[in-house]
Amino acid sequence: MPKNDIKVALIGNPNTGKTSLFNQLTGLNQKVGNYPGVTVDKKEGTSRLTSSQNALITDLPGTYSINPTSIDESIVLKTLLKKDIKESPDVILVVADVENLKRNLLLFSQIKDLEIPTVLAINMVDQMTKKGITINLSALEKELNTEVVLISARKNQGIDKVKAAIIRCHVAAKASPLCGINSKIDPDYFSKLKEISPNYSLYELWLMVTQNNYPDTVSKEEKEKLLAFKKDISKLKKYQHKETIYRYQEINKILKKTYIIDKSKATDVRAKLDKVFTHKIFGYAIFFLILLVIFQSVFDLATVPMDFIDGIFAELSDFVRGKLAPGVFTDLLAEGIIPGIGGVIIFIPQIAILFLFIAILEETGYMSRVVFLMDRIMRRFGMNGKSIIPLISGTACAIPAIMATRTISSWKERLITILVTPFTTCSARLPVYAILIALIIPNKKIFGFLNLQGLVLLSLYGLGFATAIIAAYILHKTLKIKSKSFFVIEMPNYKIPSLKNVIFDVIEKTKAFVFGAGKIILALSIILWFLASNGPEAYKNAQKNTIENSANKNLNEDDLNQKIAAVKLENSYIGIMGKAIEPAIKPLGYDWKIGIALITSFAAREVFIGTLATIYSVGSDDEDTATIKEKMRSEVNLETGGSRFNFPVGMSLMVFYAFAMQCMATFAIVKRETNSWKWPLIQLFGMALLAYVSSFIVYQILS
Amino acid sequence: MGYISEESLDFIPLKLLEMGCLPGAEVQLVQIAPLKDPLYICVNGSHLAIRKETASKIKILKANI
């Protein structure tokens, strides 16, 4: 970042179109640090204000107030209290929704009192005439002592005015409190507080005390004095209440002079839609119908691009092998790297489609109705209506889903949601399921219209969700955590989703998945290839010994080569590892080749496919365009002579993948979000045990 | 439809106050969730869903009194 960029913090209530404004200001120049290892949780982007002046814009999580009740909101407080020159914002851009201006101004009034230069952008002004709202802009600017810009972020109106205002505000560097609020509640008390340090505004000191958040720049002495104020907690609480009421009184006074709303123009579309969407029968029926549509379309729409990608990478491998001189490098490329990359790319259709649906549901405001509908039910299982969003997002990927639990303010409800989310069927399981279903379930229609394969997949989703719920119930009854559950959500107005926001959201989440999990998968593919094509003494002698042993069996050249390759694999490092665990997994119906795939797919479930692809392409390297599926179909169980992937084995594997937490990235994110080793370890071993026992039962019953 | 009584002030969580649930404000019950909980209310222009447990602490005065 060049030094002279203006640092702008973008703040606003949820549902004010803050993200739309951020997207308009920065375009595709955004980056998000939200993957394991990266502890930054904020979205940043560069905006070109003029030809010579850029701004670095940070999109802070939506919040109703600076006083946080969730982890998400506490990021806002922490950013604002920072006094570090490098990180603290030069200008704060507050976004407000024209329809809810009163409530939005509460946050604005708090921010003003921090005495940082501020610009107020009132969004969705294109709705003003329709809603019968009139604003006296110049009077409002005077009353608020702030530059106010009227914009419509979705329609790309007023964005230039915002940019100009940021520059003017930065140059003037003028900052004054709006309410000077605290002194009016108890002058003595607050003047004593102000005396502690001249480096901070009164409101900043007040926030440090009430939120127990002291920036590093506060000296030890100052901190001790601030802590003294914490002694009388009931007084603090009372003053916080008084402060909020006082702020609203001031805001009401200001709005009376500047803001007129003609209530007769209010429409009741919202009320009508709410009647349907939150209806005791239709509400749930619509929700389940939507889920059904989502999952069916994921399975149907994604198969074409996925088969295409699968085929392309198989051909690419053959092409490389055909064109390049044989050798270690060519093998690495054709058997390690290309199938590895293919294993990541193949997910994009499914992940993107799932996130597309979720983004649309969130954008329209429908998701809040689902939260409302589900809260009572989820509470019975120790969760929260808000847990429904992680559980649905979990069907795409557990990582963004677990991060989405941050809005749940009760620790117990949040922890339970985190622990059970990995049970929901994420898209990394889909390729495993898809390939196994294709192998063991006939592609038939039942009752003339239901696709049997689709139905099995749907029941696997059902299994994942049911397990999540049951596990939550058990945790709810066993976890002894005292945590106050407080629940309030806003029911935003219904909106037609903005294409730009939806697409950006899908791109952002897909990118995070591809680059985060992708690296692990690619690295593993290379390690795997190495382990599969190297080995101790027996491996090196495989060729010679096999030829000698088969000398009198009259094998043709192809059969002999295949036999050599199989012996090689068996004696490679990875073969040794697979064999070592074979006794443990034999009761589940697996052989050592599947064992290898189980070991490697701890990194991420989809590696299962990539591993089998590597194992089988090493096992029979004369194949031309055979895809993984075909290779698996032709795999024979040497003991029975039948197909290796028969019905009991396929079912047992699917159950195993439904329950086991085969995902390193999830482990890492749970460790980070719970800030402990205890919970991710409990989760890992609990899920593994459940997976083992269930697969054992399934296989023993079916075979 | 009703008004939040002044004496409820100490029982209203800060977050609800901040979202517009102020003493003296007009409250409208928009809808009750199918399982009788949570409640969907409209107060001071904010449409909010809160649990019964929280709502029961807030005293509402009838509009016609």
Residue range A658-677, pLDDT digits in tens: 999 888 778 877 887 888 89
Residue type, A171: V
User: Higher pLDDT residue, A315 or A266?
Assistant: A315
pLDDT of residue A617: 59
Closest CA to A42 of A24, A62, A20: A62
Q: Give the domain ranges of chain A.
A: 1-263, 282-478, 501-702
User: Higher pLDDT residue, A15 or B1?
Assistant: A15
pLDDT of residue A35: 33
Sign of the CA dihedral running A354, A357, A363, A368: negative
Looking at residue A62, the DSSP 8-state letter turns out to be P
What mean pLDDT do residues A329-349 have? Answer: 79
Report whether B63 contacts B45 (CB < 8 A): no
* Beta carbons of B35 and A275 less than 8 Å apart: no
- Residue A55: phi and psi, rounded to 5, are -125, 140
Least confident of A92-106, A138-152, A368-382, A547-561: A547-561
What pTM does this model have? 0.80
**A164: confidence class by pLDDT, cuts 50, 70, 90:** very high
Least confident of A74-83, A382-391, A647-656: A74-83
Closest CA to A15 of A339, A423, A497: A497
* Rounded CA separation A179/A191 (Å): 15
Is residue A275 left, alpha or beta, with left meaning phi > 0 and alpha meaning psi from -120 to 50? Answer: alpha
Pairing of strands A91-97, A6-12: parallel
Fold of B2-62: SH3 type barrels. (2.30.30)
pLDDT of residue A76: 85
pLDDT of residue A93: 95
Residue type, A631: K
- Res A171 pLDDT > 60: yes
**B65: confidence class by pLDDT, cuts 50, 70, 90:** very low
ipTM given for this complex = 0.92
- Res A41 pLDDT > 80: no
Report whether A281 contacts A599 (CB < 8 A): no
Name residues whose C-beta falls within 8 Å of residue B49's C-beta, 6 or more positions apart in sequence. A368, A371, A372, A375, A385, A487, A488, A489, A490, A491, B33, B38, B39, B40, B41
CA distance A319 to chain B (A): 59
Q: Is A284 exposed, middle or buried (0-12, 13-18, 19+ CB in 10 A)?
A: middle
- Res A490 pLDDT > 50: yes
* Rounded CA separation A385/A586 (Å): 42
pLDDT of residue A2: 55
What mean pLDDT do residues A136-147 have? Answer: 91
pLDDT of residue A31: 67
* Rounded CA separation A377/A400 (Å): 23
Q: In a mutagenesis test of the B interface, which of A247, A488, A490 is the best target, namely the one with the most B β-carbons within 10 Å?
A: A488
Least confident of A39-53, A66-80, A112-126, B17-31: A39-53
Bridge partner residues of A135 (DSSP): A259
High-pLDDT (> 70) share of chain A, % = 90
* Beta carbons of B49 and A375 less than 8 Å apart: yes
User: Higher pLDDT residue, A515 or B37?
Assistant: B37
- Res A426 pLDDT > 80: yes
CA distance A408 to chain B (A): 14
CA distance A341 to chain B (A): 46
| Peptide bond between residue B38 and the one before it cis (omega within 30 degrees of 0) | yes
Least confident of A61-75, A190-204, A342-356, A616-630: A616-630
For residue range A554-566, list pLDDT tens digits in order.
Answer: 666 766 776 677 6
Report whether A501 contacts A364 (CB < 8 A): no
Report whether A10 contacts A56 (CB < 8 A): no
pLDDT of residue A424: 92
* Rounded CA separation A36/A41 (Å): 11
Three-state DSSP class for residue A52:
coil
Distances in whole angstroms, Cα of residue A196 to Cα of each of A67, A88, A199, A236, A342: 21, 22, 9, 17, 61
Three-state DSSP class for residue A220:
helix
- Res A200 pLDDT > 70: yes
* Beta carbons of A103 and B46 less than 8 Å apart: yes
Q: How many CB pairs under 8 A join A and B?
A: 104
Pick the CATH number of A1-263 from 2.40.30.10, 1.10.1060.10, 3.40.50.300, 3.40.640.10: 3.40.50.300
Bridge partner residues of A152 (DSSP): A157
> Beta-carbon neighbour count of residue A696 at 10 Å?
17
What mean pLDDT do residues A632-648 have? Answer: 79
pLDDT of residue A214: 84
CA distance B27 to chain A (A): 15
* Rounded CA separation A329/A377 (Å): 57
Pairing of strands A450-451, B2-4: unpaired
What mean pLDDT do residues A23-34 have? Answer: 74
User: Higher pLDDT residue, A35 or A143?
Assistant: A143
User: Higher pLDDT residue, A311 or A611?
Assistant: A311
For residue range A585-631, list pLDDT tens digits in order.
Answer: 999 999 888 888 888 787 678 778 767 766 665 444 444 335 667 77
- Transcribe A422-473 into DSSP letters: GGS--TTHHHHHHHHHHHHS---EETTTEEHHHHHHHHHHHHHHHHHHHHHH
Question: How large is the C-alpha radius of gyration of chain B?
Answer: 11
User: Higher pLDDT residue, A385 or A30?
Assistant: A385
A-chain residues within 8 Å CB-CB of B51?
A: 375, 487
Q: Give the domain ranges of chain B.
A: 2-62
What mean pLDDT do residues A290-315 have? Answer: 82
- Res A204 pLDDT > 60: yes
Distances in whole angstroms, Cα of residue A394 to Cα of each of A142, A427, A501: 48, 8, 21
A-chain residues within 8 Å CB-CB of B40?
A: 274, 278, 372, 491
Three-state DSSP class for residue B19:
coil
> Within a 13 Å sphere around the CA of A67, how many CA atoms are in the beta-carbon half?
22
